[in-house]
Structure 1
Amino acid sequence: MNEMISSMNISIAASLLLVLALILSMFRILREYERGVVFLLGRFYKVKGPGLIILIPVVQQMVRVDLRTVVMDVPSQDVISRDNVSVRVNAVLYFRVVDPQKAIINVEDFLDATSQLAQTTLRSVLGQHELDEMLANRDMLNADIQQILDAHTDIWGIKVANVEIKHVDLNETMIRAIARQAEAERERRAKVIHALGEKEASQKLVEAAHTLSEEPNALLLRYMQTLTEVAGENTKTIVFPLPMELLTGLSKHWSQLQQVIKQQTDETNKQ
C-alpha cells in the first residue's frame, strides 16, 4: 500500500514539474533590439516583440532575430585588376536586418549568405577596374559594391548600410614600380612648372620692353637703379653691359650741349 502511495506521489510530482515546465516555456522575453519570428505548426504566423511573448507549447516555435547593425570583416580576396595586376584586398561590411520574416524564411543562414555574397562581389567589382582606380577612387568603389550588395540582399530583408575597402596589398615588385612611376610623374610636373614659369617670365619681359621703348629716359633710369643696387654689394670690380640705346641718348644730349656752348660762344664774340 505504501509503495502504491509513493509511486502516485512521484507521478503527481513529475506531472506538476512537466506542467510547470510547459508553463515556463510559454513565456519568452525579447530585448528592444530583438524580434521573434513565430511559426504555428510549421507555418509562418507573425513577428513578435520586443517585450514579453507568450507561445503555445509544442504548437508554436520562435526564432530570435537581432536587428542591430552587424560589422562583418570580409576576408582578403585575390583580385586581378583590369590591367593584369594581382593584389589582395579586404573590406568591412556594415548591414542590419530590416525584415525578420524574409531573413529567416527566404535564406537558410543570412549571415553566411551575406558574407559569401560580399566576397564574390568584391572580386567581381574590383576586377573591372585598374590598379590606379583601386588606390585613388576608393569612395567610388565602396559605393558600387554597397549598391550591388544592397540590391541582392533586399530579398533577404537585409539593408547594407556601408562598405569600406580597408587594405590593398601589393607585392614588392609592384611597389617599386609604382614608386618609379610616381617619381617620373613628379619630375614631369616639375619640368612643366619650370616651362610655365619661363613662359610667364618671357611674357613679362616683353611687356617691360614695350613699356621702356615708349620712353627712352625710362631705360636710363632703370640702368642707373641697377648700378645703384650693384654698387651696394661688397665688390671691387663691376662688369656691366652698356646698352647702345644709352649711348645714343648720351650722344644726342652731348650734341645739344655742344650746340648751346657754340651759340653762347658766338654771341660772346659778337659782343
Structure 2
Amino acid sequence: MGAWVVVIVFLAVVLLGVGIASLRIIKEYERGVAFRLGRLRGPLGPGIVVVLPGIDKLVRVDLRTVTLTIPPQEVITRDNVTARVNAVVLFRVIDATKSVMAVENYAVATSQIAQTTLRSVVGRADLDTLLAHRADLNEDLAASIARQTEPWGIQVEVVEIKDVEIPEMMQRAMAREAEAERERRAKVISAHGELQASTELRDAAMTLSESPASLQLRYLQTLLELGADQNSTVVFPIPMDIVRPFLESTERPADSTGDGVSHIRRVRSDD
C-alpha cells in the first residue's frame, strides 16, 4: 500500500510540474504563434496559454511599433550628384502568423527592402527635389516599402529621410547660387523702390505746380528746417517764377537806354 502511495504522489508531482511548465504568459502587446509537432496551431494570447513541453513550440511576436534606422546609402541622383542619404522607418506587425510563416526574419528583411528602395527612389529624383521636396519622397518611399512588406504581415507607418550629405564642392556652388539669388532680389526690390519714389515725386511736383502758394510754403518750410541745423552757409535755389518779375523790371530801363544810344549813332552818321 505504501508503494502505491509513493507512485501516486510521484505521478501527481510530475503532472503538476508538467502543468506548470506548460503555462506561458503572453503580454498584451505580444502574440504567440504555436506549432504542435510542426503543424501550425495559430496565434495565441494575450494572457495565459498552454504549450506542452516537447510537443509544442511557441514563437513570440511583438506587435509594438519598431524604429528601424537605415544606414547611410551612397546614392547618385538623376542629375548625377553623389549624395549620402540615411532614413528611419517605423513599422509594426499586424499579422503575427504571416510574420513568422512568410519570412524568416521580418526585421532584417524589412531593413534590406528599405535600403534598396531608398537607393531606387532617391536615384530617380534630382538634387533640388531631394532637398526641397523631401515630404513627397517620404510618401513615395513609404508606399514602395509597404507594397513589398504587406505579404509578410508588416505595416509601414512612417518613412523619413533624416540627413542628406552632398560633396563640399557642391555645397560651395549652392552657396554661390543662393548669394547671387539674394543679390538679384535686392536689386529688383531697390529698382521697384526707386520707381515708386519717382512716381510719388512726380505726383507731388504736379500737385505743387497747380498751387504756387503751396510751393512757396514748401520753400519756407525747407528754410525753417535748414535754419534749425545752425548751418553757417545755406545754398538755396529760388524758382524762376519768383525772380522773373524782378528781372523784367530791371531790363526795361536798360532797353530804353539802349534805344537812345542807337538813335544818337544814327544822327551822327547822317551828319
Per the normalisation by structure 1, the TM-score is 0.79
Unaligned runs of 5+ in 2: 250-271
1:231 aligned partner: 227
1:61 matched to 2:57? The reply is: yes
User: Which deviates further from its counterpart, 179-188 or 68-77?
Assistant: 179-188
Question: Partner letter of residue 70 of structure 1?
Answer: V
Q: Could you say which residue in structure 2 is the equivalent of 1:215?
A: 211
SS of the residue 1:222 aligns to: helix
Q: Which residue of 1 aligns with 2:88?
A: 92
The Cα of 1:78 is off from its aligned counterpart by 0.6
**2:266: which partner in 1?**
none
Question: Structure 2 CA distance, aligned partners of 1:183 and 1:91?
Answer: 30
Matched, 1:130 2:126: yes
- Please report how far the alpha carbon of residue 148 of structure 1 lies from its aligned counterpart in structure 2 after TM superposition: 2.2
Spell out the pairing of 1:1-271 with structure 2 (5 A cutoff).
22-247=18-243, 251=245
* Higher Rg: 2
CA apart distance, 1:141: 2.1
1:220–1:246 contact (8 Å) kept in structure 2: no
* Structure 1 runs (4+) greater than 6 angstroms displaced: 15-18
* Counterparts of 1:149 and 1:243, CA distance in 2: 80
Shift in Å at residue 226 of structure 1? 1.7
Please give the secondary structure, in 1, of the residue aligned with 2:204. helix
Distance 1:144 1:16, change over 3 A: same
The superposition leaves residues 104-159 of structure 1 with CA deviations (integer Å, 9 ceiling, x where unpaired) of 12222110111011111111121222222222222232222123222332222112
Structure 1 stretch displaced more, 40-49 or 225-234: 40-49
- Given residue 55 of structure 1, which amino acid in structure 2 is its aligned partner? V
Aligned length: 242
Change (3 A) 1:243 1:83: farther
Q: Using the alignment, how far apart are the partners of 2:76 and 2:16 within structure 1? A: 62
Question: Which amino acid in structure 1 is aligned with residue 236 of structure 2?
Answer: F
Find the aligned partners of 1:243 and 1:156 in 2 and give their Cα distance: 91
1:127 and 1:244 map into 2 onto residues whose CA distance is 74
For residues 15-67 of structure 1, the C-alpha deviation after alignment (integer angstroms, 9 at most, x for no partner) is 98976664344211111111011234434332111111112444433211001
Q: Gaps spanning 5+ residues in structure 1: where?
A: 256-271
What is the TM-score normalised by the length of structure 2?
A: 0.79
Residue 227 of structure 1: SS of its match in structure 2? helix
Letter in 2 for 1:150: A
SS in 2 for 1:205: helix
- Shift of the 99–204 alpha-carbon distance from structure 1 to 2, 3 Å rule, reads same
When residues 25 and 202 of structure 1 are mapped into structure 2, their CA distance, relative to the original with a 3 A threshold, is same
Q: Secondary structure at the match of 2:217?
A: helix
